[in-house]
Chain A
Amino acid sequence: MTLATYFDYFILPILTISVILVFIRLVKGPKVVDRVIALDLIITIGIGIITIFTIRSNQKVLLDVAIILALIAFLSTVAFSFYIEKREDD
């Protein structure tokens, strides 16, 4: 078994199942803060998927997208928590 088939048939399916499980929590989360951390986790797993895809397709340009996504995930979580704290009613 080569490394390419291992990535294709083991690592990527595990990451895909993880995104589906987090998406269930994103739909069902009882409060808005649950949805915020679910969104954050989806973006973080997306960075991992982009990394594996970079390795498999040998396109190193795609890692730039991962940098931007990491930045956006942090900024969105901080902005969400800032405005949730400022909001008057729940």
Chain B
Amino acid sequence: MIDILIAILSTIGALAIFFASLGILRMPDFYLRLSVTVKAATMGVGLLLLCAAILFPDISVSTKAIAIIFFLIITSPIAAHMIGRAAYLTGTPLWKGTIIDELAGQYDKETGLLKNEKPSEQKTDSEQPQGQIAESEEETK
């Protein structure tokens, strides 16, 4: 009974990690790669660690495994947010098929601060800032 539960949990975990690595290889853009990686890999490693926590009869192993899961769930969104912000500020281009770049023109590139008001409200449509959407597929590949 326990064996079947462990097999199911570890299969889902390993497949989630595999899809995360497939996504980081195949996605067309840095931001899509980031969005695939963080959630799926955290879930996969969390399920594998849950297998170890169930399988060992020792209480210390379960405590350690649950501590690692807790730590991963807390820290990975923070790391993803910081690297995504750094990427946007240094001008990493978005994918060519991106429909809207809502942050376009709102970041002050010198100080790294976010402005409150949208700059496009005073301007006409033709003067709207273009943002960082890439011109071609090859730019983000």
Binding site for B on A (CB under 8 A): 2-3, 6-7, 10-11, 14-15, 17-19, 21-22, 24-25, 30-31, 33-34, 36-38, 40-41, 44-45, 47-48, 51-52, 54-55, 60, 63-64, 66-67, 70-71, 73-74, 77-78, 80-82, 84-85, 87, 90
Contacts and interface: CB of A to CB of B under 8 A. Distances in A.
23 contacts: A3-B7, A6-B10, A11-B14, A15-B14, A18-B20, A22-B21, A22-B24, A30-B141, A44-B42, A48-B13, A48-B17, A51-B52, A52-B48, A60-B58, A63-B61, A70-B68, A74-B75, A77-B79, A78-B78, A80-B86, A84-B86, A84-B90, A87-B90
Contacts of A51: 45, 48-49, 51-52, 65
Bin chain B's interface residue count. 35 or more
Interface of B: 3, 6-7, 10-11, 13-15, 17-18, 20-22, 24-25, 30, 33-34, 37, 41-42, 44-45, 48-49, 51-52, 55-56, 58, 60-61, 64-65, 67-68, 71-72, 75-76, 78-80, 82-83, 85-87, 89-92, 112, 139-141
